[in-house]
């Protein structure tokens, strides 16, 4: 039984990602991280790999993008002993918010963040499950910057190298760390 990051590698984690063709619409090859989350060993591996990367980075808060970024980000914030900030889809936060609209691989969306979620100078780690077109992550970056916080790094499990998202994030001056890079996010 494999139980430690030293034994289980990123390749083993990547092998647990389920690929679902034509979801949420025809032509999209959806990368589902649910099998990672369902496995105590693989979920621990995912969180541990990220904890090891960030434990000495002086992170003040982890911001997670709706919705899978909440799962990863909250577990990571707990292990790093820092706060967690949700960046949610429009209309889901109860307090005063700021908003940012963006395009994603199959439509338009808007995300929001509480106006008191971070303060100027706060060191933020921004987390999501994957980077495809980069719309969600770049919108999150804009929200955090509007409040004057510093993004130490953006992190995700997967970066699709055949889509422009990773480069768009880097072009905004934000370092991007992903555990796994993959081309083929869209079916041929």
Give catalytic residue positions.
68, 105
DSSP annotation of 64: E
* Contact indicator for 101, 109 with CB cutoff of 8 Å: yes
Show the CA angle centred on residue 105, arms to residues 102 and 109, nearest 5°.
30
Question: 16: how many CB neighbours lie within 10 A of its CB?
Answer: 20
Q: How far apart are the first and last CA of the chain?
A: 37
* ω into 67 cis (within 30 of 0): yes
Alpha carbon distances (Å) from 163 to 136, 139, 185: 14, 17, 8
DSSP string, 166-183: HHHHHHTT--EEEEEEES
């Amino acid at each position: 039984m494999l139980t430690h990051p030293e034994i289980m590698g990123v390749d083993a984690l990547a092998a647990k990602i389920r690929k679902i063709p034509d979801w949420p619409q025809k032509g999209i090859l959806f990368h589902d991280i649910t099998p990672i989350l369902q496995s105590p060993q693989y979920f621990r591996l995912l969180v541990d790999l990220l904890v090891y990367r960030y434990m000495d980075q002086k992170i003040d808060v982890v911001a997670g993008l709706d919705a899978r970024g909440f799962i990863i980000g909250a577990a990571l914030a707990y292990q790093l002993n820092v706060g967690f900030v949700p960046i949610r889809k429009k209309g889901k936060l109860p307090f005063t918010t700021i908003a940012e609209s963006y395009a994603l691989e199959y439509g338009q969306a808007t995300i929001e963040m509480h106006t008191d979620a971070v303060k100027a100078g706060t060191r933020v780690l921004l987390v999501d499950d994957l980077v495809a077109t980069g719309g969600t992550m770049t919108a999150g970056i804009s929200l955090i910057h509007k409040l004057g916080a510093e993004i130490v790094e953006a992190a995700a499990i997967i970066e699709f190298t055949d889509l422009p998202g990773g480069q768009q994030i880097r072009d905004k001056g934000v370092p991007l760390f992903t555990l796994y890079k993959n081309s083929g996010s869209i079916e041929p």
